[in-house]
Structure 1
């Protein structure tokens, strides 16, 4: 077996691109590691710490809950503190898991000999997409647009107190608000957009690899013809899922505090969010699930046909002839029993994402909503909703 590309060119999805190069020059990352904890603390200090200091100087860091001072604003905590920190920490977890997934695809001898070169080319193409300056520019432009939209929200009557400066000319964005608009919010949306783009790269890579000739066999002990490890990749996105869920739950919290969101609607939002999460992680696996469906059908047909020959041979050996179609010629070669293949094919599951994968991801998606739900529902009423959504 030829040497896998993971040995020569590791699939490091979190590296490459202008933003990574900028961090490399600033010594926030190293060629040997992503330095996640230092980067997370640095980015949170810039995105959340500086607005906190500015709001503290303006006297808007504290105050009554209805005024939404900086320290009591769930949106600021969710986007600038929790989400940014978790998104940075998630990069290392995601990169390590996806790198091992690509390595195992080659080292597990799942690709036919003629597929090795195209597979290497697919990995190289994915890494080129990862390094794209245009893609990160688009992410930055979308982040700037999102920050511009943030300005329109802060100008509304429901804007948090820390975002407004009251002067003779009327209300205007405070220094903390301007920093959040220009730096914090832009950084948050850029990190989200960059993470989404790299997930698209992973999805495209899986789609390409699923179309190559493989050496799958229905009797593989993992129950997924040898591809079981591919379906476990969503577990690498637990921190990413928590980060995005925090932001969405913060928006729900805002609506709850203003009385525009009913307690019963929280369960509906949680259910819709879970469906979106499942689609986000499930769609990239569609190509491999199609492949497993074909494998299962073909193995069942082949095993059934072989089973007929095996049983007819046994019938001839036992009865001296076949009851039907007696003109069949006896074979000198013993036909092996295909029962194991047939039973294995029956049990083969094309669904690569199993319950063991879905439960941690689901819990990560729902965890931030639990805090919101507890403000409206007692725990004994919220627990059945969570159990239903988690399919426990």
Structure 2
């Protein structure tokens, strides 16, 4: 296995450039340094330039930079969040990839197919073409845009003056936004690579054990790994929350009018991030069905043997035979109860490799940034009264 062979993040053009420039060496907290550096590059110049233009602090005649909640949530929260979450997500995803080959999920005769699948994922990770396409897509709106438009229709904002981009606006449009888009697209590319891996697993020939105690045939660890992409839901929620706060503050929109958008986002992003695991549903259904057939036949034989033995023992006891066995003298009842427990666990086996808690974890990441909107819609006193009324 080559270096970083199980990693989804440690590869590609950006990683090689960082390694060649020495950025990856000599820093114990590299992600923090990178996050701080990207925030500084994307946000500090607009702060300085708007301070010189007089559009930094909130004002009544237009939206200043510090009153632009969409921009602040994008550059001050979502951007560093994507950087800081990458190492932790990569560690768990790397362990999940390693688990595929070390947990007896693939028979030895099929291990070559798993190696081919992992090599295909690594080739996609290390190829410079996808990341160059990500860069092109990040710059495409800038290259294709004909003219600058207001962030909010009818509201003057800090990026424009007399219909033209200011110096701060040019930095934001040419540097800050493409940088954020590129970072988000790199995350999405890793999500695509993970999805390719999941789609290829059924063809590898997984050897699942339907009676596995994790309740998912031994694949429950994939649901835990999928949770790492909840950071995309959190980042998207921050962007949505910032845009909605701008709508509420500057255009007078109500939280009630935005309810369908907010609910649709939480449900939609949760379904999108969990959907790749559904490709394993047919494999799990087949494993459960075959195991139920086997255990049904075994259960019939066990029940018949148990019934024959203790019917005869009951007859001996009724005849007052001195050496008659009793149920307490043997472990048959305990063994039969153990078999029943295994069968009940098999019958409850999930046909998807995730639990409701995996879904809830992703949904909470999507919904958490939207909670402050409630404080924008009503005062703290009103919110407390409603909570007390519900609880009382």
Pair 1:99-2:103 in alignment: no
Query: In terms of Rg, which structure is larger?
Result: 2
Pair 1:364-2:365 in alignment: yes
8 A Cα contact 1:86 1:240, kept in partner: no
Match of 1:58 among 42, 53, 59: 53
Per the normalisation by structure 2, the TM-score is: 0.83
In 2: Cα distance, 1:130 partner to 1:39 partner: 21
What is the deviation of 1:230?
0.9
Match of 2:226 among 211, 229, 234: 234
Tell me which residue corresponds to 2:183: 191
Match of 1:89 among 73, 84, 108: 84
Per the normalisation by structure 1, the TM-score is: 0.83
Once the two structures are overlaid, the 10-residue window that deviates more, 240-249 or 371-380, is 371-380
Structure 2 CA distance for partners of 1:235 and 1:121, relative to 1, 3 Å: same
8 A Cα contact 2:148 2:165, kept in partner: no
Tell me which residue corresponds to 1:330: none
Tell me which residue corresponds to 1:13: 8
8 A Cα contact 2:233 2:270, kept in partner: no
In 1: Cα distance, 2:153 partner to 2:267 partner: 33
Q: Runs of 4+ in structure 1 displaced over 4 angstroms? A: 31-34, 148-151, 315-320, 380-384
Tell me which residue corresponds to 2:277: 285
Tell me which residue corresponds to 2:375: 374
In 2: Cα distance, 1:306 partner to 1:365 partner: 46
What is the deviation of 1:64?
1.6
8 A Cα contact 1:299 1:341, kept in partner: no
What is the deviation of 1:65?
5.7
8 A Cα contact 1:299 1:342, kept in partner: no
SS at match of 1:162: coil
Matches within 5 A, 1:105-254: 105-147=100-142, 152-154=148-150, 157-158=153-154, 160-165=156-161, 170-254=162-246
8 A Cα contact 1:90 1:240, kept in partner: no
Deviation string 1:340-367 (CA, Å, 9 cap, x unpaired) is 4421211211233223323332222112
Once the two structures are overlaid, the 10-residue window that deviates more, 269-278 or 116-125, is 269-278
8 A Cα contact 1:126 1:201, kept in partner: yes
Match of 1:304 among 271, 280, 296: 296
Report how many aligned residue pairs link the two structures: 362
CA RMSD of aligned residues (A): 2.9
In 2: Cα distance, 1:132 partner to 1:292 partner: 33
8 A Cα contact 2:214 2:220, kept in partner: yes
Unaligned runs of 5+ in 1: 321-333, 388-392
What is the deviation of 1:49?
1.3
In 2: Cα distance, 1:43 partner to 1:103 partner: 32
Once the two structures are overlaid, the 10-residue window that deviates more, 91-100 or 297-306, is 297-306
In 2: Cα distance, 1:185 partner to 1:159 partner: 20
Tell me which residue corresponds to 1:24: 19
Deviation string 1:244-295 (CA, Å, 9 cap, x unpaired) is 2111111222222244633223433232112222222211111223322222
